[in-house]
Amino acid sequence: MAVVSLMTIPVQAGTLYTDVTMVHDGLTRTYNYFIPSNLPASPVPLLFYLHGGGGNADLALGLKGNKAPSKVYVDIAEREKFIYVVPDGHVPDPSKPDELHWNDLRTDATNHNNSVDDVGYIEALITHFSSNYNIDSQRIYCTGISNGGFMSLTLAMNLSHKIAAVAAVCAANARNSSAASPVNPIPVMLIAGTADELMPWNGGYGKYPEAGYFESIPDTVAFWVNHNGADTVPEITEIPDGPYNDYGTTVTVYTYDNGAEGTEVLLYKVNGGGHAEPSIKEQHSTSWETIVGYQNHDIETAEEVWKFFKKHALNGPTTSPPVGGIWAPVNKLQLLAPYIGLIILPAVAVITVGYVKKRKRKTTNTHIRVNYISHFYGNMVALRENRGLRKDSHQKLSGFHRA
C-alpha cells in the first residue's frame, strides 16, 4: 500500500510528490515521483532512477541544493509525458539514516543489507503505478548510477520480463552475485569513465573494497552482447568535444546492434572520466570532482538515456521516432519528412527534420548528428549560458556515489 505525502512541489508544469511511503516486505519504504502536466489518456512510459550508494532520492532530484544530472529527467518527463519515479534505497546503518543503499545482490559486498528485498520493492512499485496510472507495460525502464547502476543491471537479469531496457552509469556486472540469469533479450546501455577509481574500468576492487569485486567494462559489454546475440563488431562514434572545461574528457560511443528482438548494447566510454554522470546543465563543483573524478560536459546523460529508452519496448523496438537526436551513419539515413534546414557546426552537421527513420546499421566510422529543431535550440541555450564556466560554489558532499 502506498500513501502519498501531503507535500507536493510544482515543477515546470507538472507536480513532484515527495516522501511517499510504501510498506514492502515488512519495511516502510519511501520514494519521490513526478507526474507531468496534461498526462494523455493513452498509456504512458514509466521510468525509474536509482540513486548511488550513500545517496537518496532527494539528492538525486537536487532538492538539497546540490547539482544533480538526474533531475534533468524531470524536464524530459514533462516534455515526453512519462512518469518518473525516484525511489529511496534502504538504510544499512541506522546511525546514517540519509545514506541509503540498494541490495543489488552482490554477495561479497558489505555496504548494504543483503536481506533486504530491493528487487521485490521495485517490482512492487511497478505494480503500484500500473494499478493507479495508465502505464504502458511494454515501456518500463530503469537507470541509475553506481550502486543504482548495479541495481539496474540486476533488474535486467531478474525482471527482463517486465523491464524494457536499462541504462547503468558508473557500474558493471558483479563478479559475485546471486542475481538470476536473464531470460529475455534486453537492451542495455552503459556509461563508464576510464579513470573511475570507485568502479575501475578494468574491473577488480575499487576504492572501497567493501563494495565487492567488479567485472571489467569490456567483459560486462561482452556478456550483454552475447546474451542478446548482437553484433560483436561495434559501430564507433566520436562525440565532438564541446567548449566546456572538463579537463579534456571526451566520449566515444560503441553500438552493438542487431540483437534478438531488436535489442542492442551501447557503451558510452568517457575517456578520462571519473565516477560521475556526464552533464551540460548540472556541472559538479571542483570540490566534488576531487572526490569522484572528472565529469564530462559533452553530453547530457538524461537526454542520451531517454533517446536509448525511447527506441525500445519490451517485445521489440518502438515505432515512434527518437526525440533529441540520434547518432547514425551518414549513408543509412532515410528522411521521411520534408527537409527543413542544414546548420553546419564545428565537427558536426545538425540536420533538423520533422521525422527520421533509421534503417539497419552496418559498421562505419562516418557519422552525422540528426536533431529535432527544439533539441538543437535547447542545447544552444545551454551552450550560451554555460560556455567556459565552472561552477565552484559549495556543494553538499555527503551521500556521494559509493559503488
Q: What is the pLDDT of residues 127-183, one digit of tens each?
A: 999 999 999 999 999 999 999 999 999 999 999 999 999 999 999 999 999 899 999
**What pLDDT does 402 receive?**
54
Consecutive H or E run containing 308: helix 301-310
**What pLDDT does 318 receive?**
85
How far apart are alpha carbons 11 and 177 in whole angstroms?
38
Q: How confident is the model at residue 88 (pLDDT cuts 50, 70, 90)?
A: very high
**What pLDDT does 208 receive?**
82
How far apart are alpha carbons 230 and 263 in whole angstroms?
7
Q: What is the pLDDT of residues 271-307, one digit of tens each?
A: 999 999 999 999 999 999 999 999 999 999 999 999 9
Q: Which residues contact 345 (CB under 8 A, 6 or more apart)?
A: none
For the whole model, what pTM was predicted? Answer: 0.79
How far apart are alpha carbons 56 and 325 in whole angstroms?
31
How far apart are alpha carbons 209 and 194 in whole angstroms?
19
How far apart are alpha carbons 138 and 314 in whole angstroms?
5
Q: What is the pLDDT of residues 224-275, one digit of tens each?
A: 999 999 999 999 999 999 999 999 999 999 999 999 999 999 999 999 999 9
Q: How confident is the model at residue 8 (pLDDT cuts 50, 70, 90)?
A: low
In one-letter notation, the amino acid at residue 115 is S
The CATH number fitting domain 2-386, selected from 3.30.450.40, 1.10.1660.10, 3.40.50.1820, 3.40.50.620? 3.40.50.1820
The string of DSSP letters for 313-380 reads: ETTEE-SSPPSS-EEEEGGGEEE-S-EEEEEEETTEEEEEES-EEE------S-EEEEE-HHHHHHHH
Q: What is the pLDDT of residues 38-87, one digit of tens each?
A: 999 999 999 999 999 999 999 999 999 999 999 999 999 999 999 999 99
Q: What is the pLDDT of residues 353-373, one digit of tens each?
A: 332 333 233 333 333 233 322
Beta bridge partners of 351: 342, 370
